[in-house]
Every structure is written in structure tokens, then in C-alpha cells.
Amino acid sequence: MLAGLAAVGAGLIHLASAIGSPPAVAAVVAVIGVAELGWGVIAVAGRGIPLPNAARVGALVPVVLWVLVLLVAGPAQLGPFTSALRLAPMLAASALDLVVVACVAVVGRRAATRRSPSRGPAGGRGAVIALALCGAAIAVLTAAALGATEVGDQARTGTGFFAPHQH
């Protein structure tokens, strides 16, 4: 479930970052965001990790792309191609994608060790508390990153989609 929550957060950040970006950048970032959001919803709603190998690779793709952008353009001057992508939201989305990768790896390792003699049921109250705390941390990180996007600026200033409508 934690991997799904992280993927939903990363997807929301990527979708918000696509708004106001140049069309080519917006298309790539939006496709990544839709994929993360879709996988995350399936992971939260279902039992277990759907398509774990694809999830691991899929979560690493935006991180690798973002690192390449930073290496080629540099964080101080991202250039005209990526000027609309802000550093903080993309770093937050990358961190959430890495949470997905880590969760998929841990779940895969646990599944492999369960094939050996059983160690008893996992979970309990501590697991529920840990999941709640991690979920809250993901929510806070996602909300802060969304506030640092173009959409967040529009919400703060009451412009764009958030402009008051006269009837």
C-alpha cells in the first residue's frame, strides 16, 4: 500500500508539473504522471504489488530522466526546454519514485523469504502505525511539492483555473 501511495503522490506532482510546461515536456511528464497515478491506484486498491518488475523500472524512468536533465542543463539554469519544471517538485516526485522502488524491492524480498520456512505473521499495531506515519509523510511531501508548481502559484494568487468566475 505504501508503494501505491508514493506512486499516487509522484503522479499528482508530475501532472501538476506538466501544466504550464512547453508542449513536448508537458507530454512526457503527463504520460509519466498518468502511469504513476494509475499504477498507484491499482496498488492501493489491490493486494500486493502489481507488475513488480515493470513498477521498479517504471518508477526509475522519471528519476533517471530528471537526473539527466540536471546533469545536462544544470540546476541553476535549466534552459528554455525545461524552464517550466521547477526543481523542488521534481525532486519530491523523484524521492517518491525511489520510495516505490524501495517498497517493491522489500516486498519482493519478503515474498522470496516466505517461500522458505514460515516466520509467522507480519504486521500488527506497529505496522499500522508505521503505515499511517509514512502515509502522512507522503501526503505532506506531495502537498508541499504541489504548492511549488504552476498550479500552486495559480491557487495562491487566484489566477488561471482558480480565478473567480463572474456569472
Is residue 93 included in any domain, yes or no?
yes
Structure-block grid coordinates of residue 80: 528554455
How many folded domains does the chain comprise? 1
119 in a structural domain: no
pLDDT in tens, 45-87: 987 788 888 999 999 999 998 888 777 766 555 555 455 567 7
**51, part of any domain:** yes
Which tens digits make up the pLDDT trace of 157-166? Answer: 887 766 676 5
SS3 call for 12: helix
Most confident of 30-44, 62-76, 119-133: 30-44
Percent of the chain with pLDDT over 70: 80
Contacts with 35 (C-beta within 8 Å, 6 or more apart), sequence order? 11, 58
CA dihedral of 44, 59, 73, 76, whole degrees rounded to 10: 40
Q: Would 86 be classed as within a structural domain?
A: yes
Query: The domain containing residue 39 runs over which residues?
Result: 2-111+124-162
Domain-located, residue 167? no
Q: Which amino acid is at 43?
A: A
Q: How does the average pLDDT of the chain come out, rounded?
A: 81
Model confidence, pTM: 0.79
Looking at the domain assignment, is residue 79 inside a domain?
yes
Cell numbers 516466520: residue: 119
Query: At 10, is the pLDDT very low, low, confident or very high (cuts 50, 70, 90)?
Result: very high
Task: List the one residue out of 135, 160, 165 whose CA is nearest residue 4.
Answer: 135
